[in-house]
Chains A and B, each alone.
Chain A
Amino acid sequence: MKHRQGAGLKLRGIHRQFEGRPVLNHLDLDIAPGEFLAIIGPSGCGKSTLLRLIADLDQPDQGTLDQSEEDVDVAFVFQDPCLLPWRSVIENVALPLELQGVPHHHRMPAAEALLKTVGLGEAQGKFPQQLSGGMKMRVSLARALITRPDLLLLDEPFAALDDITRHHLDDHLQSLWLNHPMTVVFVTHSLSEAVYLADRVVLLSAGGGDITLDYKVPLAHPRTPATRVSTPFIDHLKIVSEAFELLARTPE
């Protein structure tokens, strides 16, 4: 069993370009262990690239990326649920453990327990094709958490869902994070989702990924549906929105 609080990250001078066009331009960013960080920004600001670099799916052209601990366990949630259609729900959730060689009688109860916490205890024998989009996303979340990762990366995970489903999933994600201490880096294009979930919101500019806003959200966790309509929340959202609008109106 892990007893960490999550992994911290130190990014220095990260540079990445595709076909000569810089997507991330000498970016510096520190992420504290156990922090819930939301990254927002207009399309093409390098949010996804940054996430892939952190996940080691891509290498920077320049710069360094240090983790606070050895052997950090990373999990990734994609915008698409990415479930294996030939596996049942519970087999999908247990997959990362299976790949680590955890025996059947250990991984299945773990997957079952996790499915219950995302409210899918009944659906464990079903196949992905039989689930709604929101349910698939919850399976995807459960699968990401099955290894108790130190670092959870999410790339616009709820973008394809309707608002109600999305709010439910926000709450699921928050409670998972509160129950399994870990660092979360959450890329989203929804400002209110970012403010609602994160300890800290980072706004990247388009065409180079400069940090134009680094904002701490001083609201206590857990946040609840009531938070969304509270005055402090709306004030914080307003600050972030103004910075975003300013960026959107500035020519590159």
Chain B
Amino acid sequence: MRALYQIVWLPPLMSFVLITGLIECSIILMDLPAYLAPRPSAVALALWMHAEELLKATWHTGVAALLGLGMSALLGALLAITLASHPLIRRAFYPYAVFFQTVPIIAIAPMLVIWFGYGQGAVVAASFIVSVFPIIANTLTGLLSTDPALLDLFRIAKASSLHTLFKLRIPGAIPHFLTGLRIASGLAVIGAIVGEFVADSYEDGGGIGTAVEIALKEQRTDLVFAAVLMSSLLGLLIFWLVSGLNLLTLKRWHLGEFKDS
């Protein structure tokens, strides 16, 4: 029989109950009005009452975030391979990859609207811009940290540089790439929501960004927090999805990667 603390879902559940309980009690004790700080119970009620529209908004944002993350994975990996191909290319272009990490998305988001039009295009682009850097950086690290002994092995076998790239360096970089993807998964959600603030299309009710915006305008702080909670859950869901992919790909090798995740 397993000890109680070994049950995977129990520790997070316990911390959840503890933290929400603490917040609930302190709001009651400090006598804070709901329009300044909604009680967790009020947020839960808002979640329940607006479940359908919140789920629709989460789906809307989730699709955009997954598309953004997918683009980041594809283009980020390709960019990393290009950067890894030659030190000169790396020196010349890597500084610009850092641009993606530092770009104030809120500042360029209105331009995304001009380039991609309103709706999903611009939202996905925002999600991509925010999430691509950790994938480039991690994949590049992976591509450049190939075991020198393995490189010697390929040199002795007179492997071409293409063979070395595809049969050694790229597969060897996959764990790094997946680490980047896990970091990027939360960022992709944030990027999509910021994108929605400026570029969402309201036809089907919009995404979480729009839901937050509407709740703010209606001065419904409980609903604001409910929407924020949904975005956290979405981030968590995508993170789990990526971790699952991680596990599927890597469980046969690099077992060490999983001892603590």
Contacts and interface: CB of A to CB of B under 8 A. Distances in A.
Interface in A52-109: 55-57, 74-76, 78, 80, 82, 84-86, 95-96, 98-100
A96 B157 contact: yes
B149 interface: yes
B156 A86 contact: no
Interface SS of chain B: helix
A55 B154 CA distance: 12
B119 to A, nearest CB: 40
A57 B156 contact: yes
A34 interface: no
A129 B255 CA distance: 7
Given A84-B168, A86-B174, A99-B163, A76 B253 contact: no
A125 to B, nearest CB: 11
A82 B253 contact: no
B45 interface: no
B150 A82 contact: yes
A86 B153 contact: no
Contacts of A80: 149
Q: Is the interface of A mostly helix, strand, loop or mixed?
A: loop
A85 B152 contact: no
Interface string B161-204: 00100011001101000000000000000000000000000000
A80 B149 CA distance: 8
Given A74-B156, A86-B174, A128-B253, A95 B149 contact: no
B149 A55 contact: no
A177 interface: no
Interface residues of A, number: 21
Contacts of B216: none
B158 interface: yes
A127 interface: yes
A80 B172 CA distance: 17
B252 A127 contact: yes
B253 A95 contact: no
Given A84-B171, A99-B167, A57 B157 contact: no
Contact of A86 (B152, B154, B159, B253): B253
Contacts of A129: 252-255
B149 A78 contact: yes
B155 interface: yes
B153 A78 contact: yes
A166 B147 CA distance: 25
A76 B167 contact: no
List the 10 closest pairs (A to B, CB-CB), nearest first: A85-B253, A99-B159, A127-B252, A96-B157, A86-B171, A76-B156, A99-B157, A82-B149, A86-B253, A129-B255
11 contacts: A74-B156, A76-B156, A78-B149, A82-B149, A84-B150, A84-B172, A86-B253, A95-B157, A96-B157, A127-B252, A147-B157
Given A98-B167, A127-B253, 6 more contacts: A55-B156, A80-B149, A86-B252, A99-B163, A100-B158, A129-B252
